[in-house]
Homo-oligomer: A and B are copies of this chain.
Amino acid sequence: MNRLRELLGVELPIIQAPMAGVQGSALAVAVSTVGALGSLPGALLGADALRHELMAIRAATDRPYNVNFFCHATPPADIDRDARWRETLAPYFTELGVDMAGIPSGPGRLPFSDDIADVLEEFRPPVVSFHFGLPSAALVQRVHGWGAKILSTATTVDEARWLEAHGADAIIAQGTEAGGHRGHFLSDDLQAQMGTMALVPQVVRAVNVPVIAAGGIADARGIAAALALGASGAQLGTTFLLCPEATTSVVHRAALVSDAARVTAMTNVFTGRPARSIVNRLVREVGPLSAMAPAFPLATAAITPLRAAAEREGSGDFSPLWAGQNASGCREMPAMAIVMDLATALLYA
Contacts and interface: CB of A to CB of B under 8 A. Distances in A.
Interface of A: 156-157, 175-177, 189, 191-192, 194-199, 201-202, 205, 213, 215-219, 221-222, 224-230, 262-265, 279, 288, 324-326, 328, 349
A71 to B, nearest CB: 25
A28 to B, nearest CB: 24
A226 B195 CA distance: 13
B202 A328 contact: yes
Interface centre among A157, A195, A230, A325 (most CB of B within 10 A): A195
- Copy number in the complex reads 2
Contacts of A229: 221-222, 225
A326 to B, nearest CB: 4
A191 B288 contact: yes
Given A221-B228, A221-B229, A263-B189, A175 B201 contact: no
- Top 6 closest A-B pairs, CB basis? A195-B195, A198-B216, A197-B216, A198-B325, A198-B326, A225-B225
Contact of A325 (B177, B194, B228, B265): B194
Given A176-B176, A202-B326, A221 B230 contact: yes
B195 A325 contact: yes
B221 A195 contact: no
A247 to B, nearest CB: 25
